Structures are given as structure tokens and as C-alpha cells.
């Protein structure tokens, strides 16, 4: 069996994730495709992840792709998590993951409606959805609050978990809007605030071209292997949120090729993707919380020393802002209230790397400008650096 060692895995990461200066790109869409999907739970992450890989980082370029060209789209997909993917890949992600997520979301909401005991059912929900989409189409775009004001049914309150300690009263607006977005009938438009804001407006959207689930899962797996391989079966299962059977079928359909990893495990690569990557120039990257390069595998031992985890992760397993040196996580960074980019190294990287970190921090500060970035999921080191 062909062997791909950890050094080669780090070189692949640097080149295929567009992190070394020599392989940066000019297109936010190219970045998204290189990483398959950008984490979008934190609105700022999409821009930070994209601009870290752009030769000329510009917020405007990312916003243009998201809201004008719509060549980047947000989908509730893998692991029931919000991602941003290219418009070309979106139909595959929709069929491979988002459809199943939408079905689950609808089932959960209908269960809550039935438990409320006020006769709210599938018919009622369908009428509310149609009214919301009709109103949104007429308006062009609207916030959730504006939509609720225009569609009275969205102001309906329901009791969830009745008769339990968790009993509470909630409005249905956010749940209905989430469901419409999961179904691809509406999408997020420009936020009310800056690019760091998650207070999105909403606009009507067109359905994706129908794609068979198995074909979409195979295509998504091929792309993921090209970007993240070699990786294990467990890595793919975790990243997609699929069951073991689905994962194995997708690997087989994608033509995944087995290789041996340094830790003795079996890894998988895209068909024929075993040639060694040529070395890269020394490189530094300052990546945001939830960046795909840090969140792409279940087992990150080849690029993340285990003793760094306590400082860089929150209790739910979300990674914070990280400093990278030649494919390894060597520290963390943060932005203080006055805009200063600060960092702390957890590994000894030498004087040359420290100079490169200073240069990359200056590059980051120059395009972030007056914006202030506070991760949605705060980690111990990020909190310390900003205290």
C-alpha cells in the first residue's frame, strides 16, 4: 500500500487549501471550492477564511460573490451546520446532505406544533410558509422581524416541552424561516450591519437542480478527498455527518484509493492521487475560528499537537483563531478592542517564522480595517489575548 507521511499531508494542506503565498488566488469562489465548504455559523468566518487565501484580500469581493453574483451560497448541510459553498457545488451539497437536514427540521417543527395542542398541523404550516414566501417575493428582501410584522401567522406562539422542566413559550417565526432556508426556498441576503453581523435579511431563492442522493454523495466525497485526503473513513463520516453505511458507499462510488498513514491507520485519497507534492516556500497563516483547515478532520493529529487543544478549543469542540506554520498549528491569535492583532505561540518556531507572523498580522489588520471580530465560540486563549 502506498504511504503518505504527515509531512506530505501538511504540504498538501498548504497547497490545496491555498495557504502558502505562492498558491493564493484572486477568487473567493475558488477558495470555497478548494476547501469544498466554508464554515458559516459565524458570519465573519466566511470572510476571514476567504481573505486569508486571497492574494488581494477584499471584503467587497466576498460580499459580491455572496449577495450580487450569488456565486457563493449558504446551506444548512453537513452535521446540521451552516456552510458556504460555490453555486456550482450547491446542488450536490443540497442532495447529499441538506435535503436530509431539511426533512429532519420539518419533522421536528411539526412535532413541536402537535405538542402545543392548538390544532397547528402540516396544513397550517404549509399556509404560513406560502404566505411568507409570497410576502418576501413581493418585498424583494426583509428581516425576520419585518416578515413577521407582515405575516400575522409568523407571530404565533407555541409551548415547547409542555409539562416538563424545560417548558417554555416560543415564537414560530425563526423556526419557519429556518425551515424555508433549509428547503432552499429562501436564502440569506446582506446583513443589517457589517460583514461581521449575523442579522441577515432574507430573499426568495430558486430551487436547486434535482440530483440523486447517491450521485451527489459520491461527487461530494471525490471533492473532499481531493482537498482533505489522505483522510480516514472516520474523518469523512464525521465531516459529512453521514452514517457508516452511507460513508462507505460514497467512498466506493467515488473510487477512493487506500493509502497508509504515519500512525498506521488506513487513509483514503482521490483516485490516483498518490504522487508526492513538491515542497512549498515557508508560510504562515492566521486563520479564523472554525476555519475548514482546522475543522476538516476528526483526527487532526498530523497538524495539531494534542497539548494545544485545551487553549484553542471551546468545550463543544469548536476551534478558535489559529496561527499556522508550514502546515502545523503553532498558536492562536485575537483582535483586541482597539483593533490590534495579537497572538501567542504555543510551539517554538524560530525567529524567521516570528517575522512572517508579524507580516501576516499586518496584512490581516490592513484589510480588516475598522471592523472588530469577536468569535461566536470563544476559546480560552482568545479570551486571554483580548482581556
Name which of 173, 174, 170 is nearest 116 in CA terms. 170
For residue 35, tell me if it sits in a domain: no
For residue 91, tell me if it sits in a domain: no
For residue 88, tell me if it sits in a domain: no
Which domain-ending residue is among 180, 204, 228?
A: 204
**The pLDDT value given to residue 44:** 96
**Could you give the 3-state DSSP secondary structure of residue 246?**
helix
**The pLDDT value given to residue 166:** 83
Gap between the Cα atoms of 311 and 320, Å rounded: 9
Name which of 239, 347, 268 is nearest 303 in CA terms. 347
**The pLDDT value given to residue 213:** 97
Evaluate the CA torsion angle 126, 128, 133, 135 in order and state its sign: positive
For residue 143, tell me if it sits in a domain: yes
For residue 17, tell me if it sits in a domain: no
Encode burial over 266-277: b for 16+ CB neighbours within 10 A, e otherwise: ebbbbeebbeeb
Gap between the Cα atoms of 171 and 174, Å rounded: 7
End-to-end CA distance of the chain: 50
Name which of 228, 248, 230, 249 is nearest 239 in CA terms. 228
For 38, what's the count of Cα atoms within 13 Å in the CB-facing half-sphere? Answer: 32
Evaluate the CA torsion angle 153, 155, 161, 167 in order and state its sign: negative
**Could you give the 3-state DSSP secondary structure of residue 374?**
coil
Quick one: cell of 151? 405575516
> Does 293 share its domain with 382?
yes
Gap between the Cα atoms of 71 and 181, Å rounded: 17
Gap between the Cα atoms of 141 and 162, Å rounded: 35
User: Which domain range does residue 365 map to?
Assistant: 284-386
190: part of which helix (H) or strand (E)?
strand 186-191
**The pLDDT value given to residue 156:** 92
**The pLDDT value given to residue 171:** 87
Name which of 276, 270, 264, 258 is nearest 2 in CA terms. 258
For residue 46, tell me if it sits in a domain: no
Counting other chains too, the contacts that 237-245 makes at CB distance below 8 Å and 24 or more residues apart are 237/298, 238/79, 238/297, 238/298, 239/78, 239/79, 239/296, 239/297, 239/298, 240/78, 240/79, 240/96, 240/97, 241/78, 241/79, 241/80, 241/97, 242/97, 242/217
Tell me the C-alpha to C-alpha distance, in Å, between residue 280 and each of 231, 302, 308, 379.
Answer: 21, 17, 25, 31
- Continuous H helices in the chain: 6-16, 28-35, 43-51, 59-63, 90-93, 99-116, 122-139, 144-150, 173-182, 213-228, 233-240, 244-253, 292-295, 309-312, 350-368, 380-386
What contacts 194, CB < 8 A, 6 or more positions away? 371
Which domain-ending residue is among 161, 184, 204?
A: 204
Gap between the Cα atoms of 297 and 50, Å rounded: 19
For residue 348, tell me if it sits in a domain: yes
For residue 89, tell me if it sits in a domain: no
Which domain-ending residue is among 186, 204, 222?
A: 204
Please tell me the total count of domains within the chain. 2
188: part of which helix (H) or strand (E)?
strand 186-191
**The pLDDT value given to residue 225:** 98
For 167, what's the count of Cα atoms within 13 Å in the CB-facing half-sphere? Answer: 7
Write the CATH number for 164: 1.10.10.10
Instruction: Tell me the pLDDT of the chain (387 aa) as tens digits.
Output: 899 999 999 999 999 999 999 999 999 999 999 999 999 999 999 999 999 999 999 999 999 999 999 999 999 999 999 999 999 999 999 999 999 999 999 999 999 898 887 888 999 999 999 999 999 999 999 999 999 999 999 999 988 888 788 888 888 999 999 999 999 999 999 999 899 999 999 999 988 888 999 999 999 999 999 999 999 999 999 999 999 999 999 999 999 999 999 999 999 999 999 999 999 999 999 999 999 999 999 999 999 999 999 999 999 999 999 999 999 999 999 999 999 999 999 999 988 898 999 999 999 999 999 999 999 999 999 999 998
Gap between the Cα atoms of 377 and 115, Å rounded: 32
Gap between the Cα atoms of 276 and 259, Å rounded: 13
Residue 320 main-chain phi, psi, to 5 deg? -90, -170
Amino acid at each position: 500500500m502506498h504511504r503518505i507521511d504527515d509531512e506530505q499531508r501538511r504540504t498538501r494542506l498548504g497547497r490545496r487549501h491555498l495557504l502558502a503565498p505562492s498558491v493564493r488566488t484572486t477568487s473567493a469562489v475558488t477558495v470555497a471550492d478548494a476547501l469544498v465548504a466554508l464554515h458559516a455559523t459565524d458570519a465573519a468566518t466566511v470572510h476571514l477564511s476567504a481573505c486569508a487565501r486571497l492574494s488581494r484580500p477584499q471584503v467587497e469581493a466576498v460580499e459580491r460573490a455572496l449577495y450580487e453574483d450569488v456565486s457563493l451560497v449558504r446551506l444548512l448541510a453537513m452535521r446540521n451546520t451552516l456552510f458556504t459553498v460555490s453555486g456550482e457545488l450547491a446542488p450536490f451539497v443540497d442532495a447529499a446532505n441538506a435535503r436530509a437536514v431539511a426533512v429532519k427540521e420539518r419533522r421536528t417543527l411539526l412535532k413541536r406544533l402537535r405538542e402545543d395542542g392548538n390544532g397547528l398541523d402540516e396544513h397550517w404550516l404549509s399556509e404560513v410558509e406560502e404566505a411568507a414566501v409570497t410576502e418576501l417575493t413581493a418585498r424583494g428582501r426583509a428581516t425576520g422581524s419585518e416578515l413577521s410584522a407582515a405575516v400575522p401567522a409568523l407571530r404565533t406562539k407555541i409551548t415547547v416541552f409542555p409539562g416538563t422542566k424545560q417548558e417554555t413559550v416560543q415564537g414560530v417565526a425563526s423556526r419557519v424561516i429556518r425551515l424555508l432556508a433549509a428547503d432552499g426556498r429562501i436564502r440569506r441576503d446582506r446583513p443589517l450591519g457589517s460583514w461581521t453581523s449575523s442579522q441577515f435579511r432574507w430573499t426568495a431563492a430558486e430551487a436547486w437542480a434535482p440530483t440523486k442522493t447517491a450521485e451527489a454523495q459520491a461527487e461530494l466525497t471525490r471533492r473532499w478527498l481531493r482537498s482533505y485526503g489522505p483522510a480516514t473513513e472516520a474523518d469523512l463520516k464525521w465531516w459529512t455527518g453521514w452514517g457508516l453505511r452511507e460513508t462507505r458507499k460514497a467512498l466506493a462510488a467515488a473510487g477512493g484509493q487506500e493509502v497508509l498513514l504515519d500512525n498506521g491507520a488506513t487513509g483514503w485519497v482521490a483516485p490516483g492521487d498518490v504522487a508526492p507534492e513538491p515542497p512549498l516556500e515557508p508560510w504562515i497563516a492566521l486563520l479564523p475560528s472554525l476555519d475548514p483547515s482546522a475543522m476538516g478532520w476528526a483526527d487532526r493529529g498530523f497538524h495539531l499537537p494534542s497539548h494545544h487543544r485545551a487553549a484553542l478549543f471551546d468545550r463543544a469542540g469548536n476551534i478558535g483563531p489559529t496561527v499556522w506554520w508550514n502546515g502545523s498549528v503553532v498558536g492562536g491569535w485575537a483582535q483586541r478592542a482597539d483593533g490590534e492583532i495579537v497572538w501567542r505561540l504555543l510551539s517554538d518556531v524560530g525567529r524567521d517564522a516570528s517575522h512572517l507572523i508579524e507580516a501576516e498580522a499586518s496584512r490581516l489588520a490592513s484589510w480588516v480595517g475598522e471592523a472588530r471580530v469577536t468569535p461566536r465560540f470563544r476559546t480560552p486563549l482568545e479570551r486571554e489575548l483580548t482581556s
